Amino acid sequence: MSGSKEKKRAKKMRNQPASVTLSAEPGPFSGGGNRACPTPGDVRSEQQNSSNQSSGPSHRRDQCFPRGQNRGERGRGRGGWQGGSQSVSEEMPKYITVSAFAEARAAEIKAMLKAVSQKSSNSLVFQTLPRHMRRRAMSHNVKRLPRRLQEMARKEVQVPDKLCEKAVHQKKEQSKTKCRKARRRHVHLVAEFNRRQRKNIWLETHIWHAKRFHMVKKWGYCLGNSPTEKCYRACYRAMTKHCLLQDLSYYCCLELTGRENELLKQLTRICSMDTGLTFAEACCLSGRFEGSLDLYRADRYPEAMLGPVTFIWKPRDGSERRQLWIWVHPALKQDILGELKAIFQCSEPEEVCIPEPVPPSVPEKKDVVQSLGKRRKEDKEGEKAVPVKKIIGDGTRDPLQACSWISPATGIMISDRSMEILRYRLIGPLAHCVLTDTLKAAALQTEMADSETELNNWWVETCKDSGRVSLHQRQSAVFELLEGLSSPSQVPPGTILGLTVGDPRVNLPKKKTKAIPDFGKYQDNAKVRQLYLEGVPVDCAHSFIWDQDICKSVTETKISEQDINHLRAQLLVPGSHLDLGPSESKIPILLVQQPGRMAGEDRPGWGSGWDLYLPKGWGMAFWIPLIYRGVRVGGLQEAVKHSEYQRTPHTPNDFPDCRAGMQFARELEADLREKFKRRPPAKRANYVKLGTLSPFICPWGQLTKNWEGRMKAAGGHSFCEPKAEAIKEASPETGELEEAMEVSSEGTLKTKDDTGTQDVGDRGETVPASDFIVLRSEKLLLQLAAWCYPTAGRDRRVRLVSRLGQKQMAEDVLLPILISYPRALVWVKLSLLGKGNPELHAMICIPTEDDLLQLSKDRLYCGPQEPRHQDIFKHKIQKLREEKKKKKKMAKALEDEPASIPDDEETTDKHEELVLGLWSGALPDVTSHCSRALLGYVTRGDFSLAAGCGEALGFVSLTGLLWMLHQQPAASKGLVLLRTPASLQYRFARLNIEV
């Protein structure tokens, strides 16, 4: 045998046990090989060899080459290795010792089992599986492997002892958990959902949205942001041609109860007639229409903005006490609630809302229970187990948190009814058609369905009153007339209609269908024309949803979905109408018309619709029937687009002068800055070279301050030169504040003078007063809109100004505005004249005379370009990097001496402040930093599907706007330049102010 073969055989036999020896004498049945059964002498010799000899290589060599056989005499035979000597006796043994033979065989079996159990390859456990069973997740997740291999896989991971003990402990706990079928039971699911709602409240439609929407956590809620499917254009088509549905139940409802004169006395302090409607408007005070206004801190108008709200008065019922609902955005709730408690002096909570366990949703009725079949299986505890009920409405609040406050002096009570009243919004021309097809007026009922329960008890008492029955019939008739209107915009803005409807689940169609109106049915109806001209009567605005006891009864006596399905399955004709009879629930609702687009001349009434108010607990019962009528559902992004196409400010994005708007701007800046830093320097824009000082936030305070300084320093403009001293005297407090104010790289204001006015927040923290305001005076906005109106003819502007009753642009007209509002912003709309899409934080600039002259010569002229700036921070960043490297080398050479550590930390801090491509430190004059004077910023901009061109919404400085309008020629009034933050190209746009 050659040396290579010898090595190969030795390698094969190295793992064999030393106690097993092969006989050298062939037997008669071995075919020239080893003997099948050893003799007693052999057994004894084997035992002696195994006890006396070691298990080294020499012993294995004895096994392979027995005595009387050399390497040359070996040959391949049928029985294995064939010995060379043929003179050995081939007789069978006469006897064997059983005990010794069994011990020898036991040693062989033990060695064989040990060899099988030990892993002889370098492959991992999951790699030993058949290829069709291998999964990538098995390489890092042991639980993906079959259970028989999980222990071996855990050993391969080589986890420390403590972690192994922890894993074993977790495994024991997991073995006690129930199967998935048990975990997915209704009771366990509800308990898990309630636990997940502790930090972020879920709407009643949350699970429906979670399966179809991208969810975000905002304002203490978990809301649907945008659909997972591609439906950007489909949602616009729904708003324009059919119907778009949104769940606005996250809006907060603050209820004020008290005498009318006491309420109006204090509410007039937080609003102003200069901005439009107030709480004392006659049409709103009667409860016939919904109103909207902007709230300010008491007696602080036009400063200290709180935010926009909508309000509804309960119709008069002969009592002195009135009810008022104020609907606010959740981001504004704490500020407005704190101000209301302050002006009404409501510091003492009336009661603490401790949520009681919600009773079973189905009335305990024996015949109903028997007909509906068996209930869900009970837990091991049996009847003693307390079922976990779904938390609805104010059950998500802290039990120790007050939800009502009363004033001891006036008796006015403020109640927080957030999540108590659900709110759905239907947008589109067929919104009323969807409502009339989904909802049916409740049938009259004069007898109780069951004397033991209070099901529809309030409705039976109502039907006994002939006056209320007549009112319900008039409301039903008006509701049916809505189908004869082609659009909700034909109803007077803010119309309110109260109604009591039946359970919408009994009218559920077999499949989804689009609701189509029948205009021929009401084409020549005089009542439809009367509704179009006069609106809904005052008495039809009444609704039982104002009564909290009725709402609570309606919520508690609601028939569950499971019981409805059981009753539907028992119908003789499947799919036929389900008639519950007296057991059908009666739900009070409120319909409020949303006017849509009212400002401007194009697309009047676009985006109009209806708001549907419901009692809590009935969210999904109304949601699914509305879905089955073919509506499309939108989220927060669709709400932003809806307001963008209406060209109205969106809450809180477009309210930079209120606290929620500032918080939104800071969060947006942090997100954009973090996204910017994640990109490598070679793949991101250098905003310093592009001349963009603040690409992530709009420095409104710096903008208004710089324009005020420019107007004071201007000496060549006729309407400013002689009146500079008057402006300075009108605002003496701004002189000291200008020098003490700086703007950081993030655009946030830093004021060194602490003597300014400060507001105290709801948590006791001080909020610095804003140094700018947003102009919301309707009179001044109408004046500015007339001055900015595009001119097509020679005397068109003069005729327009005279028709609107406005004044011509002159020095004596402009000076009072500049004195009254030295630092004010104006909400504007911009439409691009050519191609291009405006982006967020795009700069609105003033064109020069050469730009306007070149545009007049060439209508296809796209606009000028900004010269590239020099990056003054590039060398500083490189120098800091070099210093940092040097100090690291020195620290490594000196073995990290303590004296070098503070300098290293200071260098690191300086290096973190400087980011390549961003302006560092205080901002210079933002109005004159570029070749074109900066007028304002864009807060929302995109290609408009409604207008067919790029449109933008934003704010401009009032002082800069007046200066621009005064300097521009009559044929070019309102022309501005737009430049995106990451571009040098200016593009012409038309500026309009829509009121």
pLDDT by residue (tens digit) across 65-80? 444 444 444 444 444 4
Q: What is the mean pLDDT of residues 460-468?
A: 88
Q: What is the mean pLDDT of the chain?
A: 78
Can you tell me the distance from the alpha carbon of 632 to that of 638, in angstroms, rounded to the nearest whole number? 11
Can you tell me the distance from the alpha carbon of 992 to that of 827, in angstroms, rounded to the nearest whole number? 9
At 370, the pLDDT band (50, 70, 90 cuts) reads: very low
Q: What is the mean pLDDT of residues 186-191?
A: 83
Which is more confidently placed, 523 or 783? 783
Can you tell me the distance from the alpha carbon of 44 to that of 283, in angstroms, rounded to the nearest whole number? 118
Of 44, 37, 45, which is closest to residue 91 (Cα–Cα)? Answer: 37
Q: Exposed (0-12), middle (13-18) or buried (19+): which is 861, by Cβ within 10 Å?
A: middle
Helix ranges (H only) for 373-450 are 431-438
Which pLDDT score, from 0 to 100, does residue 517 have?
80
At 523, the pLDDT band (50, 70, 90 cuts) reads: low
Which pLDDT score, from 0 to 100, does residue 896 have?
55
Q: Calculate what percentage of the chain has a pLDDT beyond 70.
A: 74
- The packing angle between helices 958-967 and 811-820, to 10°, is 170
Q: The pTM is what? A: 0.74
Which is more confidently placed, 594 or 94? 594
Of the ranges 375-384, 576-585, 927-936, which one carries the lowest mean pLDDT score?
375-384
Taking 70 as the threshold, does the pLDDT of residue 164 lie above it? no
At 119, the pLDDT band (50, 70, 90 cuts) reads: low
* Phi, psi of 637, rounded to the nearest 5 degrees: -65, -35
* Phi, psi of 495, rounded to the nearest 5 degrees: -65, 140
Of 833, 640, 838, 651, which is closest to residue 236 (Cα–Cα)? Answer: 640
Of the ranges 332-336, 352-356, 659-663, 832-836, which one carries the lowest mean pLDDT score?
352-356
Q: Kindly state the tokens that stand for 540.
A: 């039809």
Which pLDDT score, from 0 to 100, does residue 594 have?
93
Q: What is the mean pLDDT of residues 195-211?
A: 90
- Cα 825–596–205 angle (5° rounding)? 105
Can you tell me the distance from the alpha carbon of 958 to that of 708, in angstroms, rounded to the nearest whole number? 10
Which pLDDT score, from 0 to 100, does residue 371 have?
38
At 126, the pLDDT band (50, 70, 90 cuts) reads: confident
Which pLDDT score, from 0 to 100, does residue 723 have?
38
Domains of the chain, start order: 189-229 (no CATH), 230-249+422-444+458-562+583-646 (no CATH), 251-348+393-418 (3.30.70), 659-713+769-776+823-870+918-992 (2.40.30.110)
Q: What are 803-830's pLDDT values in tens digits?
A: 555 677 777 788 888 888 989 999 999 9
At 399, the pLDDT band (50, 70, 90 cuts) reads: low
Q: What is the mean pLDDT of residues 758-780?
A: 65
Instruction: Tell me which H or E stretch contains 413.
Output: strand 413-416
At 623, the pLDDT band (50, 70, 90 cuts) reads: very high
At 672, the pLDDT band (50, 70, 90 cuts) reads: very high
Which pLDDT score, from 0 to 100, does residue 390 have?
53
Q: Kindly state the tokens that stand for 252.
A: 């907060």
Which pLDDT score, from 0 to 100, does residue 639 have?
95
Answer whether 224's CB lies under 8 Å from 211's CB: no
Of 546, 549, 545, 579, which is closest to residue 564 (Cα–Cα)? Answer: 579
Which pLDDT score, from 0 to 100, does residue 135 have?
83
The conformation of residue 272, written as its DSSP 8-state character, comes to -
Which pLDDT score, from 0 to 100, does residue 292 have?
93
Taking 60 as the threshold, does the pLDDT of residue 645 lie above it? yes
Taking 70 as the threshold, does the pLDDT of residue 20 lie above it? no
Which is more confidently placed, 843 or 378? 843
Which pLDDT score, from 0 to 100, does residue 17 have?
59
Which pLDDT score, from 0 to 100, does residue 712 have?
81
Q: Kindly state the tokens that stand for 968.
A: 């521009």
Answer whether 315's CB lies under 8 Å from 286's CB: yes
In sequence order, what are the residues at sequence separation of 6 or more whose Cβ sits closer than 8 angstroms to the Cβ of residue 708? 734, 738, 822, 823, 959
Taking 50 as the threshold, does the pLDDT of residue 369 lie above it? no
Of the ranges 74-78, 81-85, 730-734, 872-876, which one carries the lowest mean pLDDT score?
730-734
Instruction: Tell me which H or E stretch contains 3.
Output: helix 3-12
Which pLDDT score, from 0 to 100, does residue 310 have?
94
Task: Give the dihedral sign, CA 298/301/306/309.
Answer: positive
Which pLDDT score, from 0 to 100, does residue 197 have?
85
Q: What is the mean pLDDT of residues 270-294?
A: 91
Of 227, 232, 201, 197, which is closest to residue 214 (Cα–Cα)? Answer: 227
Give me the count of residues in the chain: 995
Can you tell me the distance from the alpha carbon of 932 to that of 328, in angstroms, rounded to the nearest whole number? 40
- Cα-based distances in Å from 161 to 168, 170, 748: 10, 14, 52
